[in-house]
């Protein structure tokens, strides 16, 4: 099937490449000429394990191509996906629908025979109705159908998540469009993947509810971790102890410096706004947004405390800047709050991130960037792990101690064994591990 994918960002590019790999003929469209030029030349602008290989192999098999012209991409396309950004509107926090609406207007100009317009961007409930209304200004209603098909992939595991998802959600109102969606996802269906067919609005709601639930799980365990520190319990055991209950589940119970990224912060805010506008406020979500914001600041205070009450004039070595490992994405990363707080307290910050430095450089003025972990630690008064990259787990801890001017380690992701850190003589401060971890 010929498919047009509008938006060659994270979701658009991964979805486009994976759908091409399923055997469809996919044309990705983006208004950013430089991005399209780079992709045509085989250069993939995002860091994601496996994506370059997937793009290149499908390009050479002529199933995947890139253009800036929707007219070209849309020609003969049975499905036109919208995978553009829906960032938070400044001040209010609701989703900015500008790019989705622009895409709808552009699509209206290119539909020839019959096309299914698939909204993959995360959009507020009811957004599909608006897309339909915009297109129907120009195109007769029997020539198109608007479907919701949210994406649940995680950065860093995007290809696997797309190809072997826990489920594919399709919000569709008519059989003709339903049949097209079935064809698109036939390879997943054939492999035993779960398909959830529902109404368009329910599908839009599923996306927000899923992300916000996961953000809530993370926030919950973060607060339990704080309590564990006060009451001398170990959150790692608590997570395991509750996670083994099938009703709770073991995932997303790792405490840390607060959630970040391009989705959780934006989607929690957007759902909370949407609920207020619908006169059914969700106080749980409002609270979690607030708790998560404050947590990032509290993490900086944890470092200050570990340094004896002040970081003025001290050199702090930060390991990991991205909001999570296996990505170069810095959007809403906790490091963007923690580091300026430390700088405001008078610290000189030196940082190392395996992939994020390029993006972080402009976002973190005054930070000295180095290109490996040991260089970062050299002569520092404290080490701080903000992101749990695998290479930090494998550091030679004796060498770490020798490199540091003072053996202080603040581990915001609980990646080191407490006993070993103590035996090596570190002042080891982690998250939610009671008095053992010094809290
Ligand atoms: C998230 C969802 O997990 C995806 O299903 C969804 O498709 C995506 O948003 C989206 O809407 O596009 P992602 O932002 O890539 O994916 O990252 P996650 O792996 O979910 O992590 C989000 C944040 O929570 C990170 O800052 C991470 O460090 C934090 N986290 C996660 C924890 O602190 N503890 C955990 O146990 C899990």
How far lies 432's CA from each of 14, 239, 323, 338, 426, in Å? 36, 11, 20, 18, 17
pLDDT tens string 300-327:
999 999 999 999 999 999 999 999 999 9
Q: Going by CA atoms, what residue is nearest to atom 35 of ligand 1? A: 252
pLDDT tens string 66-104:
999 999 999 999 999 999 998 888 777 888 999 999 999
pLDDT of residue 435: 66
Q: Going by CA atoms, what residue is nearest to atom 29 of ligand 1? A: 259
Instruction: State pTM to two decimals.
Output: 0.94
Q: Going by CA atoms, what residue is nearest to atom 24 of ligand 1? A: 259
Substitution candidate for ligand 1 out of 254, 259, 295, 336 with most atoms within 8 A of CB? 259
Index of the ligand 1 atom closest to the CA of residue 324? 28
| 142 C-beta neighbours (distance < 10 Å), count | 9
Q: How far is the CA of 16 from the centre of ligand 1 (A)?
A: 21
Substitution candidate for ligand 1 out of 263, 322, 414 with most atoms within 8 A of CB? 263
Helices and strands of the chain, counted as H and E runs: 19, 14
Q: Going by CA atoms, what residue is nearest to atom 31 of ligand 1? A: 252
Q: Going by CA atoms, what residue is nearest to atom 25 of ligand 1? A: 259
Q: How far is the CA of 285 from the centre of ligand 1 (A)?
A: 16
Q: How far is the CA of 155 from the centre of ligand 1 (A)?
A: 8
Around ligand 1, the residues with Cβ closer than 6 Å are: 122, 151-155, 211, 214, 218, 252-254, 256, 259-261, 263-264, 323-324
DSSP 44: -
Contacts of 294 (CB under 8 A, 6+ apart): none
| 261 C-beta neighbours (distance < 10 Å), count | 21
- What average pLDDT does the segment 132-158 reach? 96
pLDDT of residue 88: 83
pLDDT of residue 87: 86
| 352 C-beta neighbours (distance < 10 Å), count | 24
Rounded to 5°, the CA angle 233-239-242 comes to: 105
Index of the ligand 1 atom closest to the CA of residue 259? 26
Q: How far is the CA of 264 from the centre of ligand 1 (A)?
A: 7
pLDDT of residue 436: 52
Rounded to 5°, the CA angle 397-402-408 comes to: 70
pLDDT tens string 203-223:
999 999 999 999 999 999 999
Contacts of 416 (CB under 8 A, 6+ apart): 393, 397, 409, 428, 430
The CA distance from 231 to 150, in Å, is: 41
Q: Going by CA atoms, what residue is nearest to atom 6 of ligand 1? A: 152
pLDDT of residue 89: 86
SS3 label, residue 148: strand
Q: Which domains does the chain have, with CATH numbers?
A: 2-198 (3.40.50.720), 212-429 (3.40.50.720)
Asked whether the beta carbons of 291 and 227 are under 8 A apart, the reply is no
Q: What is the largest CA-CA distance in the chain?
A: 73
SS3 label, residue 80: strand
Rounded to 5°, the CA angle 358-260-252 comes to: 125
pLDDT of residue 434: 82
Substitution candidate for ligand 1 out of 120, 252, 321, 388 with most atoms within 8 A of CB? 252
221 phi and psi angles, rounded to 5 deg: -70, -30
Asked whether the beta carbons of 344 and 174 are under 8 A apart, the reply is no
Q: Going by CA atoms, what residue is nearest to atom 1 of ligand 1? A: 154
H-type helices in 137-199, by residue range? 158-163, 175-184, 186-190
Contacts of 107 (CB under 8 A, 6+ apart): 6, 70, 74, 80, 82, 115, 117, 135
Contacts of 277 (CB under 8 A, 6+ apart): 94
Index of the ligand 1 atom closest to the CA of residue 11? 12
The answer to whether residue 396 scores a pLDDT higher than 80 is yes
| 197 C-beta neighbours (distance < 10 Å), count | 14
Tell me which residues are annotated as active site. 263
336: left (phi over 0), alpha (psi -120 to 50) or beta: alpha
Index of the ligand 1 atom closest to the CA of residue 262? 14
- What average pLDDT does the segment 131-152 reach? 97
């Amino acid at each position: 099937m010929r498919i047009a994918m509008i938006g060659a960002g994270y979701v658009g590019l991964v979805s486009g490449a994976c759908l091409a790999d399923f055997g469809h003929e996919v044309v990705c469209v983006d208004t950013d000429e430089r991005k399209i030029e780079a992709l045509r030349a085989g250069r993939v602008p995002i860091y994601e394990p496996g994506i370059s290989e997937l793009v290149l192999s499908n390009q050479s098999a002529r199933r995947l191509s890139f253009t800036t012209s929707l007219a070209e991409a849309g020609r003969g396309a049975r499905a036109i996906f919208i995978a553009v950004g829906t960032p938070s509107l400044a001040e209010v926090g609701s989703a900015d629908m500008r790019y989705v609406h622009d895409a709808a207007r552009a699509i209206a100009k290119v539909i020839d025979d019959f096309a299914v317009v698939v909204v993959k961007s995360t959009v507020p409930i009811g957004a599909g109705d608006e897309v339909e209304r915009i297109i129907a200004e120009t195109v007769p209603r029997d020539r198109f159908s608007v479907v919701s098909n949210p994406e649940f992939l995680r950065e860093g595991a995007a290809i696997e998540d797309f190809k072997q998802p826990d489920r594919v959600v399709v919000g569709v109102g008519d059989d003709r469009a339903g049949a097209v969606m079935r064809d698109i996802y036939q390879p997943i269906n054939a492999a035993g993947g779960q398909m959830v067919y529902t109404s368009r609005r329910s599908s839009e709601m599923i996306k927000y509810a899923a992300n916000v639930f996961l953000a809530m799980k993370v926030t919950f365990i973060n607060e339990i971790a704080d309590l564990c520190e006060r009451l001398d319990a170990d959150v790692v055991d608590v997570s395991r102890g509750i996670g083994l209950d099938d009703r709770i589940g073991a995932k997303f119970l790792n405490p840390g410096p607060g959630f970040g990224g391009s989705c959780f912060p934006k989607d929690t805010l957007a759902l909370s706004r949407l609920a207020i506008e619908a006169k059914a406020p969700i106080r749980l979500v409002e609270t979690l947004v607030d708790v998560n914001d404050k947590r990032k600041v509290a993490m900086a205070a944890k470092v200050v405390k570990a340094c004896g009450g002040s970081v003025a004039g001290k050199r702090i070595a930060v390991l990991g800047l991205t909001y999570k490992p296996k990505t170069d994405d810095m959007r809403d990363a906790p490091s963007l709050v923690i580091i300026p707080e430390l700088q405001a307290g008078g610290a000189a910050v030196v940082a190392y991130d395996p992939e994020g430095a390029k993006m972080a450089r402009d976002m973190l003025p005054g930070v000295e960037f180095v290109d490996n972990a040991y260089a970062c630690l050299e002569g520092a008064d404290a080490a701080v792990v903000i992101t749990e990259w695998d290479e930090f787990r494998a550091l030679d801890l004796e060498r770490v101690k020798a490199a540091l001017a003072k053996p202080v380690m603040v581990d915001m992701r609980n990646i080191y064994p407490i006993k070993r850190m103590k035996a090596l003589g570190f002042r080891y401060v982690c998250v939610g591990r009671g008095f053992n971890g010094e809290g």
